[in-house]
Amino acid sequence: MLFDEVLAAGPVRAQVSDAAWLQAMLDAEAALARAQADAGLIDQAVAEDIAAECVASRFDVAELAGAAAATGNPAAPLARALTERVPPEARRFVHRGATSQDILDTAAMLVARRAVSAVLVDLWACCDDLGTLCAEHRDTVQAGRTLLQQALPTTFGLTVAGWLSGLGSAGRSLDGVRPAAQLGGAVGTLASLHPAGPAVLAAYARRLGLREPDVPWHTERGRIADLAGVLGRVCGCVAKIAGDVVLLAQTEVGELTESADGAGGSSTLPHKRNPVAAVSARASAVRAPGLVATLLACAAQEHQRAAGAWHAEWEPLADLLRVTGSAVSWLRTSVSRLTVHPERMRANLMGEALLAERVAAELAPTMGRVEAHDAVAECVRAGRDLTSLGVDPELLDPAGYLGAAGEFVDRALAAHARRRDGR
C-alpha cells in the first residue's frame, strides 16, 4: 500500500495482515479439535488430522473473502473449506460445537496478543532510550512552558522523565492485557458438547495460551473495550512525546533535532531537516481516538449474538493495532535519532522574567503576596531589572530554582528500572 511505510510502519503490520487473521482462525480450529480430543470426545489421531491442515498458505484468502458475503463472516466458508481438506473420517469433527463468532473472536484475541507483543518490543526499547536520555540530561536547564509560553525553569531531564513515566506506565497496562478464548456455540451454552462443554473450553483456552473465560462473551465486549482503551492510551503518550519533539525542533526553538543521514529532507527546500520520525509517529497516533470510539460504540450488542455491531469491530480493531504499532515504532526511531542542544536551551531562557515567581515569593513577607505579585508584574512589563526591587541577584539564576526536578528524574528512572526488571 502507498502509505504503509509511513502510517503502518514496524512489525505489527504483518501481525494484523489477512494472512495473520487467517492463520489465527485456523489456529482456533486446530485447538478446538485438539481440545475435544483432550476431553475424550474424539480420537487424538482425528484431531491431529484436522490440525495438520490448519496452515494458512493452503487456503485462498480472496476466495474465502468472496464466500464470506453469503454468511456475513469468513469463518463459515473457512470451516467448509477446511472440512473438504481433511480425511473423510475427520470431516464431521471439524468446527464441531463452535459457531463462527467463536472462531473469529478467538482469532481476534490471538492476533491482538501477537500484535501487542510486537508493540511492546518497540515500546520497551523506546523507554530504555528515554531512560538514557533522561539520565544524561538530569540537570540540563530548560525553559518550562505552559500555554506555549515560558513559565519557570525546569530541566530537560524532567521533561524526558515525564515522557518516560507516561509511556512506561501505558506499556505496563498494555502488557497486563490478558486475552481470553471464546467458545460458546450458538447462544453460549455449548449444548452440542454437553456435558463436556466446560472441559472442552478449558482445554481450548489452554491449547491456545489464552485465558479461560468464566462464561462465553459473545455480546459482553468488555475485553475489546479494555484492549481498545489501553491501545488508545499508548497512542496518546506517543502523540504527546512526538508533539513535544516537533515543537522543540522548530527553527525558532532549536533545542532538539532528529539527526539521520538522508532523513527529513524537503522536496523543494534544500535547507529543511524535518523531524520526520516524530511527525510520522504523531500522524499514526492521532488516528487512534476515532478507532477507539468506534470499538466502544460497538459494545452495545443485542441478546446472545449481535446484528452488525460485532462485525463492525473487525477492521477498526486491526487498524488500531496497526496504527499503535506504527506510532510506537516511529517514536522509537525518533528518540534514537535525537540530538539535544543544551546551549540552545540555555540561550532560549527569557532572562530574569523567568524567575518572577521566585522574586514575588521573596518580597511577599514584607510587601504582602498580592502587592509583591503586582510589583513584579509591573517591573517585568516595564522592562526593568528585577534587581531594582532590591532582591539578591543570586536569586535570578535559573539553575537555582529547579525545585525537586532532580529528585523527580531520579524517581522516574527508578520506576523505569523496576518495570525493566519485571519484564
pLDDT at 343 over 80: yes
Q: Are 408 and 158 contacting, i.e. CB atoms less than 8 angstroms apart?
A: yes
Active site residue 284: no
User: What is the per-residue pLDDT for 272?
Assistant: 58
At 271, is the pLDDT very low, low, confident or very high (cuts 50, 70, 90)? low
Q: What is the mean pLDDT of residues 114-143?
A: 98
Rg (Cα) of the chain, in Å, rounded? 28
381-385 CB contacts, 8 Å cutoff, 24+ apart? 385/352
- At 149-180, the pLDDT tens digits run 999 999 999 999 999 999 999 999 999 999 99
Q: Are 278 and 338 contacting, i.e. CB atoms less than 8 angstroms apart?
A: no
pLDDT at 143 over 50: yes
Q: What is the mean pLDDT of residues 391-414?
A: 96
Distance in angstroms (rounded) separating the CA atoms of residues 227 and 178: 9
Active site residue 305: yes
Cell 523506546 -> residue: 126
User: What is the per-residue pLDDT for 422?
Assistant: 84
Taking alpha carbons only, the member of 408, 409, 399, 412 closest to residue 143 is 399
Looking at the chain, the whole-number percentage of residues with pLDDT higher than 70 is 97
∠ CA 17-289-2, nearest 5°, is: 40
pLDDT at 92 over 90: yes
Half-sphere exposure of 326 (CA within 13 A, CB side): 26
Please give the mean pLDDT across all residues of the chain. 95
Write the CA distances from 126 to 285, 327, 417, integer angstroms: 15, 11, 14
Q: Which ranges in 10-149 belong to alpha helices (H)?
A: 12-15, 18-38, 44-52, 61-71, 75-85, 100-136
Please report the sign of the dihedral spanned by the C-alpha atoms of residue 35, residue 40, residue 44, residue 49: negative
At 269, is the pLDDT very low, low, confident or very high (cuts 50, 70, 90)? very low
- The residue annotated as part of the active site, out of 117, 192, 259, 266, is 266
Output DSSP code: residue 258.
E
Q: What is the mean pLDDT of residues 187-201?
A: 97
pLDDT at 267 over 50: no
Distance in angstroms (rounded) separating the CA atoms of residues 175 and 119: 10
Q: What is the mean pLDDT of residues 319-325?
A: 98
Q: What is the mean pLDDT of residues 323-330?
A: 98
Give the chain's domains with CATH numbers: 4-346 (1.20.200.10), 350-391 (no CATH)
At 312, is the pLDDT very low, low, confident or very high (cuts 50, 70, 90)? very high
pTM over 0.85: yes
The β-bridge relationship of strands 338-340 and 149-155 is unpaired
At 270, is the pLDDT very low, low, confident or very high (cuts 50, 70, 90)? very low
Looking at the chain, the whole-number percentage of residues with pLDDT higher than 90 is 93
The C-alpha cell that represents 307 in the structure block:
446484528
- The residue annotated as part of the active site, out of 305, 336, 344, 346, is 305
At 408, is the pLDDT very low, low, confident or very high (cuts 50, 70, 90)? very high
∠ CA 235-238-239, nearest 5°, is: 85
